[in-house]
Amino acid sequence: MSTPRIIESVNALRQATRQWRAAGENVALVPTMGALHAGHISLTQIARTKAKRVIVSIFVNPTQFAPHEDFSKYPRTFEADREKLATAGVDAIYAPQPAEMYPPGFATTISLAGPASAGLEDRFRPAHFSGVATVVAKLHIQAMPDVAIYGEKDFQQLAVIRQMTRDLDLPIEVLGGETIREADGLALSSRNVYLDAAQRLVAPVLNAAMRDAARRIRCGEAMEAVMSNARAVITAAGFALDYLELRDAVTLGPPDIASGQPLRMLAAAKIGATRLIDNIAV
Ligand code: AMP
């Protein structure tokens, strides 16, 4: 247990990292939007193994939400987050106000291709990844950590961040942490608090159908039939399915079975107004 320092400005962040570096200490960054759960904490544990100093950023980034999305009602639980991060032993919480990240006149946005246009999340949230990549580029440049850790839960996002960090020559190792789940398979998400009791009972069907489909594909069943069966199971459970796709795990392009490249199954589906995403190795 320690008391993480709360840092609210770019200058104060740079001062902290400068002091650590002067003492020969390396730095890990775990970016989040707060409303922290065990998935986020698992990333801080990876961070601990990689660096002497761990910074967790908490910033609900307005530019990655579309106007009809949940920016204003996104859960904000700073005091509880602070306690969890104290228990996790992080060194600093970087929690800038929107005006610190986007001062008046801010006019730069990162434009993306590659994994950001794989036809998955980008089909349903067209401006999302450019908002994510821009804020993550800023966080990477502001903190300039040795390593930054992101969850595989947001698999396409992780690919976009790896690509952006490489393309902009940022000297930062990007690591992925595995998805932490409830006992029934539902991936932990800050948005799960939106689910009512009935929806919470239905929610694990998404992951269960994906695991069943992955197992059938590994057993050699015809891919197309397995995937359309899984889509039907998910829809019959009461989800409005945005997509359920099998992709190359590295490029996120269409799978080339003959190549022997690893495959990833990715999905997004709504229960009522709540949109869940998930992905698993096949
Ligand atoms: P968020 O606060 O939802 O933007 O997530 C912050 C980071 O935590 C991202 O890198 C997410 O991919 C990661 N994350 C979210 N949910 C989970 C989970 N269930 N398991 C592991 N990492 C997660």
- Which atom of ligand 1 approaches the CA of 190 most closely? 3
How confident is the model at residue 257, as a pLDDT?
A: 79
Q: What is the pLDDT of residues 204-237, one digit of tens each?
A: 999 999 999 999 999 999 999 999 999 999 999 9
**Bridging pattern class, strands 53-58 and 92-94:** parallel
- Which atom of ligand 1 approaches the CA of 33 most closely? 2
Is the confidence at residue 187, as pLDDT, over 90? yes
How confident is the model at residue 216, as a pLDDT?
A: 97
What number of CA atoms fall less than 13 Å from residue 73's CA on the CB side? 9
Q: How confident is the model at residue 161 (pLDDT cuts 50, 70, 90)?
A: very high
Give the pLDDT mean for 5-21: 98
Phi, psi (rounded to 5 degrees) for 271: -115, 115
Please give the order of strands across the beta sheet that includes 53-58: 5-7, 92-94, 53-58, 27-32, 147-151, 173-177
Is the confidence at residue 258, as pLDDT, over 90? no
135 token code pair: 């804020």
Quote the CA–CA distance of 142 and 172 in Å, as a whole number: 12
Class of domain 5-177: alpha beta
Give the pLDDT mean for 92-101: 98
How confident is the model at residue 1, as a pLDDT?
A: 62
- Average pLDDT of the residues of the chain: 97
This prediction has a pTM of 0.97
Report yes or no: 263 and 246 within 8 Å, Cβ to Cβ: yes
Determine the distance separating the centroid of ligand 1 and the alpha carbon of 28, expressed in angstroms: 16
Report yes or no: 273 and 191 within 8 Å, Cβ to Cβ: no
How confident is the model at residue 2, as a pLDDT?
A: 75
Determine the distance separating the centroid of ligand 1 and the alpha carbon of 279, expressed in angstroms: 13
Give the pLDDT mean for 254-258: 85
Determine the distance separating the centroid of ligand 1 and the alpha carbon of 150, expressed in angstroms: 7
Residues in contact with ligand 1 by the CB-under-6-Å rule are: 32-33, 39-40, 42-43, 150-151, 153-154, 177, 179-180, 187-190
Classified as helix, coil or strand, 277 is: strand
In the chain, where does the domain assigned CATH 3.30.1300.10 lie?
190-281
Give the pLDDT mean for 71-99: 97
Report yes or no: 28 and 54 within 8 Å, Cβ to Cβ: yes
Quote the CA–CA distance of 172 and 137 in Å, as a whole number: 11
Q: Which residues are designated catalytic?
A: 40
Quote the CA–CA distance of 113 and 131 in Å, as a whole number: 13
Is the confidence at residue 128, as pLDDT, over 90? yes
CATH architecture observed for domain 190-281:
2-Layer Sandwich (3.30)
Q: How confident is the model at residue 256 (pLDDT cuts 50, 70, 90)?
A: confident
Give the pLDDT mean for 255-282: 94
Give the pLDDT mean for 61-70: 94
In the chain, where does the domain assigned CATH 3.40.50.620 lie?
5-177
Give the pLDDT mean for 109-116: 97
Q: Name the closest-CA residue to atom 19, ligand 1.
A: 188
